[in-house]
Amino acid sequence: MFQKGTLMATIGLSFFDWLIIIIYFAFILGLGYYLKRFTKSQEDFFIAGRKNSAWVAGIAFLSANLGALELLGMTGNTFKYGMYVAHFYWIGAIPAMLFLGIYMMPFYYSSRIHSVPGYLKLRFDERTRVLNAIAFAIMTLLVSGINLYAMALVLHTFLGWNWDVSMWISAATVAVYVTMSGLLSAIFTEIIQFFLIWFGLFLVSFLGIVEIGGIKEVFARIPHSFSTLWSTSADPTQNGMVITWAGIVFGLGFVLSFGYWTTDFLVVQRAFSAKDLRSARMTPIIASFFKMAVPFLVIMSGLVALALANDPKSGFVLLQDGGQVNYDSTLPLLIQRYYPSGLIGLGITALLAGFMAGQAGNVSAFNTVWTYDIYRSLINKNASDEHLLWMGRVATVVGIILSVGTAYWAKTFPSIMDYMQAIFSWVNAPLFATMLLGMFVVWITPAGAFWGLICGMGSSFLLFLAVKFQWFDPVALTLSSTASDMAANFWRAWWAWLICFVVTIVISLFTNKRPKEELVGLVKGLTEENITDHVPFIKSPGFYAIISIIILIILNIYYW
């Protein structure tokens, strides 16, 4: 990301650009105020009253992941690694989203929990819940602070805005509207962000394709190793990401993807807000269709930038950080290249909306996990409904303040940005093993889950340190003679998952099991499976999941 010493490429804003940004800020504050009158109970505040349709929850589910950090990072990654980045949107997302909707959501939704750690409490015990809640709260605050830091830096680098002012204004705006109406306002702003991102960034790819002369011409102008999806994956030296198909399938497609999409409370919370089980199951399935389309925005614009950079006559050059290419400058530089006044305001507002909705998503997930899984679980077991609602609002403000603190910490320690992916693999990869075993294997015990999670999280952290400080060669992790940082991330997640999986099973063989009657509704085999009996097949989640998987297969074959 942008660091001290980055060359600045200030984009001048006109009156119309400022007007669009002001309209956006006024609009979301007004929306938060409007929604406040409908937020009367803790159920309203933390899970939006469980009244959302599948479409609302589905778009919010996707948007919670579609932050500006993701847009900037993935466009830059495409410039760096090529078409392989599309794996994050296709095999690295869709199977996991469909698995969540078809197999896991019945257990999550039917148990009427407020959070993912809440499921761990019902299925295993209090200590597993608290362990995961604390890890998630720390991870969320770190990510939230890094998100805030990145936003301030982007605004400073490209617009010349004051670092502190832009960060505090954005943080205060998010604090105000989330405090007023909790998850409901977070979901509303996420949906608005979804439309702003599509309307704000679609033209970047579109005009890029027009300039180069068509999609085929874009692919023709980039190296072969950057333009394929699978055909160069047998040999890591032949593709831009320096990874084998096994790393993509097991590390990204299985562990990282399933770990994130099926257990990360930030996204799963959106499905909990759905009005009924069918809507909750449809939430990730609807999101999967939009997720498959996002590469048009990020991958295509990254490839356009790559094609332009390969042509010296285009004059397109990325910014430099102390002699290193700054890949994250790709998207802002394309906006600067193509957008006239007015559209620049729209593009900047789309990025701002992405940052702020990401912030709101993190804070709304944090306040729920803090209030239910840490505060009520450890500090005040008999808290009333009104008190929990008050605590949720306090947690929102405190969470934002802590995020700002993390952002200042990140400012003095810029390489923390590099640890984003690592943070996810510390918490989510092992948790997926725990969840998978917990939901589908009856005899997994509370002790097995707890110690498996400890070993999984600990091993992921140790492997990260081992690679970072070169205690051993990363190729020992990746099982190939050469590997990129991205490949090391994928494989570390795989090993952390495997360690958690094996330890959980082994300890469960020797420890006390919970009685089966206590696990009804929480584990497959002990739960009644008549969830879609009354719905015709063409309206069932299974039907839409099949369509989604067919599209996924077609895309992978087409870009093979």
Task: Name the site residues for other proteins (rule: CB under 8 A).
Answer: 14, 16-17, 19-20, 23-24, 27, 31, 34-35, 38, 49, 51, 53, 56, 187-188, 191-192, 195-196, 199, 203, 207, 210-211, 337-343, 345-346, 349
Least distance to other proteins, CB of residue 391, Å: 25
Least distance to other proteins, CB of residue 290, Å: 14
Q: Of the two residues 304 and 467, which places its CB atom closer to other proteins in the complex?
A: 304
> CA 14, CA 510: separation in Å to the nearest integer?
69
Q: Of the two residues 31 and 436, which places its CB atom closer to other proteins in the complex?
A: 31
Least distance to other proteins, CB of residue 52, Å: 9
Least distance to other proteins, CB of residue 341, Å: 5
Q: Of the two residues 27 and 443, which places its CB atom closer to other proteins in the complex?
A: 27
Least distance to other proteins, CB of residue 232, Å: 32
Least distance to other proteins, CB of residue 42, Å: 17
Q: Of the two residues 20 and 444, which places its CB atom closer to other proteins in the complex?
A: 20
Q: Which of 304, 306, 291, 83 is nearest to 212 (CA)?
A: 304
> CA 65, CA 62: separation in Å to the nearest integer?
6
Least distance to other proteins, CB of residue 491, Å: 41
Tokens for 155?
A: 């605004």
Residue-wise DSSP of 371-433: IIIIIIIII-TT--HHHHHHHHHHHHHHHHHHHHHHHHHHHH-GGGGGGHHHHHHHHHHHHHH
Tokens for 421?
A: 């992916």
Task: Label each residue of 59-71 as H, E or C.
Answer: HHHHHCCCCHHHH
Q: Of the two residues 201 and 416, which places its CB atom closer to other proteins in the complex?
A: 201
Q: Of the two residues 119 and 177, which places its CB atom closer to other proteins in the complex?
A: 177
The β-bridge partners of 324 are 321
Q: Of the two residues 49 and 354, which places its CB atom closer to other proteins in the complex?
A: 49
Half-sphere exposure of 157 toward its Cβ, with a 13 Å CA cutoff?
24
Q: Of the two residues 130 and 204, which places its CB atom closer to other proteins in the complex?
A: 204
Number of C-beta neighbours around residue 197 at 10 A: 25
- Say if residues 57 and 270 touch (Cβ distance below 8 Å): yes
> CA 148, CA 126: separation in Å to the nearest integer?
32
- Say if residues 191 and 56 touch (Cβ distance below 8 Å): yes
Q: What angle do CA 169, 173, 175 make, to 5 degrees?
A: 115
- DSSP assigned state of 169: H
Q: Of the two residues 169 and 203, which places its CB atom closer to other proteins in the complex?
A: 203
E strand spans, 252-358: 320-321, 324-325
Q: Of the two residues 1 and 356, which places its CB atom closer to other proteins in the complex?
A: 356
Least distance to other proteins, CB of residue 317, Å: 15
- Contact residues for 371 (Cβ-Cβ < 8 A; gap 6+): 42, 46, 388, 391, 392, 395
> CA 1, CA 438: separation in Å to the nearest integer?
38
Q: Of the two residues 193 and 460, which places its CB atom closer to other proteins in the complex?
A: 193
Q: What angle do CA 412, 416, 419 make, to 5 degrees?
A: 180
Q: Of the two residues 275 and 387, which places its CB atom closer to other proteins in the complex?
A: 275
Least distance to other proteins, CB of residue 59, Å: 9
**171 SS3 class:** helix
Least distance to other proteins, CB of residue 4, Å: 28
Least distance to other proteins, CB of residue 338, Å: 6
- Say if residues 210 and 219 touch (Cβ distance below 8 Å): no
**How far apart, in Å, are the Cα atoms of 255 and each of 176, 246, 252, 558?**
36, 12, 6, 25
Least distance to other proteins, CB of residue 19, Å: 5
Q: Of the two residues 337 and 376, which places its CB atom closer to other proteins in the complex?
A: 337
Least distance to other proteins, CB of residue 226, Å: 23
φ, ψ at 406 (rounded to 5°): -60, -35
Rounded to a whole number, what is the distance in angstroms from the first to the last CA of the chain?
30
Half-sphere exposure of 276 toward its Cβ, with a 13 Å CA cutoff?
4
